[in-house]
Amino acid sequence: MKRQRTITQMREKGKTPENQLSDEEILSLQERDFRLLMLKMMQDFGNQLEAKMDNLQETLTKEIQDIKLKQEEMQNTITEIKNSLEAANSRIQEAEERISEVEDRLVEIMDAEQKREKRLKTNEESLKELWDNGKRTNIHIIGVPEGEEREKGTEKIFEEIIAENFPHMGKEPLTQIQQAQRVPYKINSRRNTLRHILIKLAKIKDKEKILKAAREKK
């Protein structure tokens, strides 16, 4: 009864046996009370442990959620960076392709320009050669009164001049005259000088004969 009174008294004073009883008081408890005390202490310990485990689980769950959230944010950032890099690479590739197309076009233009210049040079040389060849057979006759060619014809005037100045050439037939006309074609009223008569021979050797005869006559 004394042990029972001790426990009852402790409870009446507001003490809980598991945390207020001294070692001596615990040893003085009856077996049944001791077991009840141990059971209560184990339950309290289990409850405390469970509470701590719940708190720990809640903390771990929250930390895991935070980690997952940060992982998602990092993954999104990585995806954005990857997309930006892919877009940049695509623009760079497109720019390189355009540059390559422009370079190819420039090469084509330069080749075409070189060919055009070559053709122009060839045409100029051909025209110059034709012009030089044409001029090589030209003979200018000056001092013939205007209108005389209408009466006799320019070719006839040329033949008379050759026969008169170079009698020995009269027997040597000249090649066909390709062209015979006054130059310039129209009379300039502001100029009082007579227009020349241009004779274009078919062969250069005929012009050379005439020039040789003129030099010998001097």
Where does the pLDDT of residue 112 fall: very low under 50, low under 70, confident under 90, or very high at 90 and above? Answer: very high
Where does the pLDDT of residue 26 fall: very low under 50, low under 70, confident under 90, or very high at 90 and above? Answer: low
Q: How far from the centroid of its chain's Cα atoms is residue 198's Cα?
A: 59
Does residue 102 surpass a pLDDT of 80? yes
* Percent of residues, the chain, with pLDDT higher than 70: 80
Can you give the pLDDT at residue 17? 47
Can you give the pLDDT at residue 8? 52
pTM of the predicted model as reported, rounded to 2 decimal places: 0.38
Average pLDDT of the residues of the chain? 80
Q: Which residues of 54-84 are buried (b: 16+ CB within 10 A; e: fewer)?
A: eeeeeeeeeeeeeeeeeeeeeeeeeeeeeee
Q: What are 150-190's pLDDT values in tens digits? A: 888 888 888 888 888 877 765 555 667 888 888 887 777 77
Going by their DSSP bridges, the two strands 196-201 and 177-183 should be labelled as: antiparallel
What string of DSSP letters covers 160-184?
Answer: HHHHHH-GGGTTSPPPPEEEEEEES
Q: Under CATH, to which class is 137-217 assigned?
A: alpha beta
User: What is the widest separation between alpha-carbon atoms in the chain?
Assistant: 185
Can you give the pLDDT at residue 33? 73
| CB 140, CB 200: distance < 8 Å | no
Where does the pLDDT of residue 88 fall: very low under 50, low under 70, confident under 90, or very high at 90 and above? Answer: very high
CA distance 188 to 153: 21
Considering the chain, tell me which residue range(s) the CATH 3.30.70.1820 domain(s) occupy.
Answer: 137-217
Find all residues with CB under 8 Å of 138, minimum gap 6, and list them.
Answer: 198, 199, 200, 201, 207
Does residue 206 surpass a pLDDT of 70? yes
